[in-house]
Amino acid sequence: MSLRAELIRAIADARDRAVTDGSLAIPSDVELPAIGLEKPAKPEHGDWASNVAMQLTPVARTAPMRIAQIISDHLDHHPAIAEASIAAPGFLNLRLDPRWVAGQVGPILDVEPSYGRETTTHPRSINVEFVSANPTGPLHVGNARGAFVGDVLSRVLAAAGHQVTREYYFNDFGAQVINLGLSVLARRHSTDLPEDGYHGAYVEELAAEMPDELALRAAETPDDAGILIGRWASERVRAGIEASLARLGVTFDVWKEESSLHDEGWVERAVTRLRESGHIHETDGATWFRSTDFGDDKDRVIVRSNGQPTYFASDIGYVTEKFDRGFSELIYIWGADHHGTVARVRNAAQAMGYDREAVRMLLIAWVRFVRDGAEIPMSKRSGEFITLDDVLNEVGVDAARWFFSSRAYTTGIDFDLELAKKQGNENPVYYVQYAHARASSILRIAADAGLAPDASSAGELLSHPAEQALVHHLLDFPDALAQAAERRETHEVPRYAYELATAFSAFYRDCKVLTDDVALSSARLALVDATRSVLANVLDLLGISAPDSM
């Protein structure tokens, strides 16, 4: 349990005791509000501040200051708490015992490198499906954001103690593969592209790379030329996508093809399931899902009147296929333009008897790519567009990872390539890596001098404000990880990493580690080692390397 969770528990216990012994009158039928506990902005307000008394004011019908006093009086002894005080208009402020704080360095090192990990009390089996770009063109930066968010989220969930499967869904079933084939063919023969054809330079490259033998076969069977060349081209594109992802350090456990959902009967079974539960109707020759039964504004076609299943049909089959594999939660990381399909998929899941809350779509807002103030078009069909490889070449993997995982995925962002390049060396990611390298360097020098970290007396020796502040930050790590996992967000992780690096820099400035005082030096070395460990840990959550020197 994180320190924050322990303190909340202590406050809750105090509140409950006060109710039990009659000092606090709260009707038994009201639901108690959650206890807020946060770090106050001003140091004189203590290390932690709770609004518990103000939250209870309406239900207890007592002045908040008085409630705060009562809870403070009932607070059981917790080894971490040195002092509880109350402040207007009703805050309960806690100050931690500096010796206890400093004494935590040892326990952190004892469990390192797994400190802060696997703290969830409700481990789930979670499927995270992300990227899932169609195999009709290289990845572009719009995909990049989802790739990094999905990757980091997967790392965070796994670190928090969940079982995570990373999944990539290949849409290989519709007409777009044929469209790709026809586009390549058109480029090959320098004829006009089909309507809605693909325009990118990669199409021309594919046309040039196409084996003569394939071109010959396509010419012999003109009716099948599109699918023939399309499959070949799609494989090439897919290989490129996988190579790009590998370069990003983004890996997947499962590559799922849409066609397999049909081949293995998942779509058919799902439709049957909906039909048997009365959520299907046949109108105008098509098969419809009664999405309106669940609040949607219209019903949705599953099978067209021409007998062809829609994309939505695959989605439904996929839901059953995933749950059949035993997942307790499905996370979809989609582009924000897909938000219109969220409701219908969740509705269908509910109709088939699944918990709709277990089907979660994270909609990633779009990235506007600009260069020198001008927007770069993003469509694969519109000619020039930015590929993932372009970004990596210009900005670098670590900086790109940091950039994309440090923004809330709901926020649309502008990415100026020239600015990103210019700021390459000032990117905060290097600041965090630098702190890790510096810590490693100190440990290296100490080791050469025969000095080893020793946390046994840290509680007594590490009393300097900078030391205290640094340990406080280390103690925040389990909670930072737990919060990110709980909220299914990533951007709090870089924030925490930066703050920890800042605290370490301040410590480095104020407290010389290697001195003639062996006891103090050993204790400070232990703190450096613990910091290095957590920095490495948090960088690992981001998929960013933790260099020993740079």
- For residues 251 and 308, which CB has a smaller minimum distance to RNA in the complex? 308
Applying CB under 7 A, among 95, 231, 275, 338 the residue interacting with RNA is 338
Give the range of 2-10, 216-224, 379-387, 436-444 binding RNA by CB under 7 A: 436-444
Measured CA to CA, the distance from residue 491 to residue 495 in angstroms comes to: 7
The packing angle between helices 492-510 and 397-405, to 10°, is 110
Tell me if 61 contacts RNA by CB under 7 A: no
Contact (Cβ atoms closer than 8 angstroms) between residue 530 and residue 112? yes
Q: Which of residues 275-304 bind RNA (CB under 7 A)?
A: 283-286, 297-298, 301, 304
Tell me if 89 contacts RNA by CB under 7 A: yes
- For residues 82 and 336, which CB has a smaller minimum distance to RNA in the complex? 336
Q: Which of residues 356-375 bind RNA (CB under 7 A)?
A: 363, 365-366
Nearest Cα residue to 342 out of 399, 396, 383, 295: 295
Structure-block tokens of residue 400: 């790109």
Report in angstroms how near the CB of residue 298 gets to RNA at its nearest.
Answer: 7
Sheet holding 329-335, edge to edge: 254-257, 163-170, 125-129, 329-335, 359-364
Tell me if 87 contacts RNA by CB under 7 A: yes
> Binding marks (x or -) toward RNA, 146..185, rule CB under 7 A?
-------------------------x-xxxx---------
Report in angstroms how near the CB of residue 185 gets to RNA at its nearest.
Answer: 20
Enumerate residues 6+ apart whose C-beta is below 8 A from 197. 179, 182, 183, 186, 203, 381
Beta-ladder partners of 38: 49
User: Total residues contacting RNA (rule CB under 7 A)?
Assistant: 89
Report in angstroms how near the CB of residue 335 gets to RNA at its nearest.
Answer: 8
Q: Which of residues 115-134 bind RNA (CB under 7 A)?
A: 134
Enumerate residues 6+ apart whose C-beta is below 8 A from 143. 131, 133, 388
Give the range of 197-205, 271-279, 333-341, 473-481 binding RNA by CB under 7 A: 333-341
Q: Which of residues 373-432 bind RNA (CB under 7 A)?
A: 406-408, 410-414, 419, 423, 425-426, 428, 430-431
Nearest Cα residue to 133 out of 258, 274, 33, 17: 258
Number of Cβ atoms within 10 Å of the Cβ of 114: 10
Tell me if 259 contacts RNA by CB under 7 A: no
- For residues 325 and 339, which CB has a smaller minimum distance to RNA in the complex? 339
Applying CB under 7 A, among 1, 25, 208, 445 the residue interacting with RNA is 445
DSSP per-residue string spanning 159-224: HHT-EEEEEEEE--SSTHHHHHHHHHHHHHTT-PPPTT---SHHHHHHHHHS-HHHHHHHHH-GGG
Residue type, 374: A
Tell me if 237 contacts RNA by CB under 7 A: no
Give the range of 148-156, 157-165, 208-216, 440-448 binding RNA by CB under 7 A: 440-448
Report in angstroms how near the CB of residue 161 gets to RNA at its nearest.
Answer: 19
Return the H-helix or E-strand segment holding 261: helix 258-263
Applying CB under 7 A, among 3, 15, 64, 238 the residue interacting with RNA is 64
- For residues 120 and 502, which CB has a smaller minimum distance to RNA in the complex? 502
